[in-house]
Structure 1
Amino acid sequence: MNELNFNLQNQAYKQIIGKILRNEYKPGQKISQKNIEEDLQLGRTPVREALLRLRRDGLIYTIPQSGTYVTKIDLDAANNARFIRENLERKIVSEAALLKDSLLLMQARDAIKLQEKYAANAEFANFFNADEEFHKTFYLMTDHAQVWDWLQTINIQFNRFRWLRLSISELPWGTLIEQHKEILDAIEQHDPETAVSAAAKHLHLMFEEEMAVLQTFPEYFDNLPQ
């Protein structure tokens, strides 16, 4: 595969994943290669190759004589990804709290300010992206950027859950922002114990809010609790 085709395939792959994450391609929705080509304004080959990768990743599946569908959100996979993320991030923020002040802390503070702005305007995608930038900051601070990249490969089901959570008005975005402030305050004060506790509470929020998400979007999930 030449470099141009490889880049186009990666572009298609990332764009389709983004649409699945943002619920533009909904769980259980039937999709077609032709429609995706038109949607992304990309050619047949990169879209076909991207769909093959997505099938291997378990994000789409094909039923013979029926078509291709977006997989529903695997609640077990989302919970397992949250478990991994929580335990890793406890270690990350603990390390970050022991470091000297870093310019990256200013980026974390800026990410919180952006979240406040996006929350006021109900800008889902921008709020989610600022949330990701906030957490990524501490992986960069502790020289664990590669760990953050690894997490993205297992986090998709968890992130799909998080995206749906943002669309429920009864679950205010302010809770997430205040928890981010608690984490950052503890790191800036070089208090690893409080930072770890705040990070654990923040990432454990999925359990507390799970039922509200499942009751609002039951048709989007597999492995629902009986």
Structure 2
Amino acid sequence: MKLEGVKKFLKENTRQYTYRVLKENIMNLNLEPGEAIGEIDLSRELNVSRTPLREAIVQLIEEKLLEVFPQKGTFISKIDLTLVEEAIFLRETCERKILKLACRDENNGELINQLEKNIEYQKISLSFSHNLHEFFSLDNEFHTILFDRYNKKNIWKAIKRLSTHYDRLRLIDALEKTNIEATLNQHIEILNVIKNRDVDKVDRLVEEHLLNYKEVIEKYREKYCTYFK
């Protein structure tokens, strides 16, 4: 087991550090769905005591990212398509509202500038660096900008907490490059809808954007069969 991003941030206590590193490694698939983890190994790798480690593990169990099986051990949770569907339902409902607010916002110039800048970074990420983890991060940032603009930060945080299984599936999709051009083009279309205040296109566009993976889910389940519940 080799964890990534183990440098501790300023002002992070040991529990926060342990939780962040474990969650990041689960979400970026460095710790793979279905993989067993051991407290002794993790404690040694992170150089932390067992108490903050166990606290972080309990939190990740509550977030359905870890599962404990008696007499077997603790495992990274496999991707559960039922939880994926729940996350999509929530995101679809909230993102329709946010985009309609953006379309009707008479003072959305700064929002448009932020989204345009984000899209340019997405293009650079794909054209030059081919850093698909970076593109995935910029994809998330695109939506964060929208929720922040309308004082819905806590709603976005709640969405992200409930989207851990969906987001791991989205990352697989990004790494496979199956829908990556479509995702970028849809972000551009979302921006144009906001610019043109075209509210009538919002529902269709949100549904298309969130369901990109649907057409290839069986391919992923076959290729990454150990990742899925």
Both structures adopt the same fold (TM-score exceeding 0.5)? yes
Q: Does 1:8 align with 2:8?
A: no
Q: Which runs of 5+ in 2 are unaligned?
A: 1-9
Quick one: distance in 1 between partners of 2:42 and 2:133?
Answer: 20
1:211 corresponds to which of 186, 195, 218: 218
Residue matched to 1:31 = 37
Residue matched to 2:90 = 84
Quick one: distance in 1 between partners of 2:206 and 2:69?
Answer: 41
Q: Does 1:108 align with 2:115?
A: yes
Note if contact 1:28-1:71 (Cα within 8 Å) is conserved in structure 2: yes
Quick one: distance in 2 between partners of 1:115 and 1:217?
Answer: 26
Residue matched to 1:147 = 155
Quick one: distance in 2 between partners of 1:39 and 1:196?
Answer: 46
Q: Does 1:132 align with 2:140?
A: yes
Q: Does 1:202 align with 2:209?
A: yes
Greater than 6 Å deviation, 4+ residue runs = none
Q: Secondary structure at the match of 1:116?
A: helix
Quick one: distance in 1 between partners of 2:51 and 2:11?
Answer: 8
Note if contact 1:184-1:195 (Cα within 8 Å) is conserved in structure 2: no
Residue matched to 1:168 = 176
1:156 corresponds to which of 158, 164, 169: 164
Please give the per-residue CA displacement for 1:161-196, whole angstroms capped at 9, x wherever unaligned.
Answer: 101111214x04111100000001110121122233
Please give the per-residue CA displacement for 1:108-138, whole angstroms capped at 9, x wherever unaligned.
Answer: 1121111122223231321111001101111
Superposition deviation, residue 41 in structure 1 = 4.1
- 2:19 corresponds to which letter in structure 1? Y
Distance 1:83 1:209, change over 3 A: farther
Quick one: distance in 2 between partners of 1:217 and 1:195?
Answer: 33
Quick one: distance in 2 between partners of 1:212 and 1:183?
Answer: 28
Q: Secondary structure at the match of 2:176?
A: coil
Superposition deviation, residue 156 in structure 1 = 0.6
- 1:18 corresponds to which letter in structure 2? E
The alignment's TM-score, normalised by the length of structure 2, stands at: 0.87
Distance 1:199 1:51, change over 3 A: same
* RMSD (Å) for aligned C-alpha atoms: 2.0
Note if contact 1:108-1:134 (Cα within 8 Å) is conserved in structure 2: yes
- 2:18 corresponds to which letter in structure 1? A
Superposition deviation, residue 104 in structure 1 = 2.6
Q: Which runs of 5+ in 1 are unaligned?
A: none
Superposition deviation, residue 139 in structure 1 = 1.0
Q: Percent identity?
A: 27
- Equivalenced residue count is 218
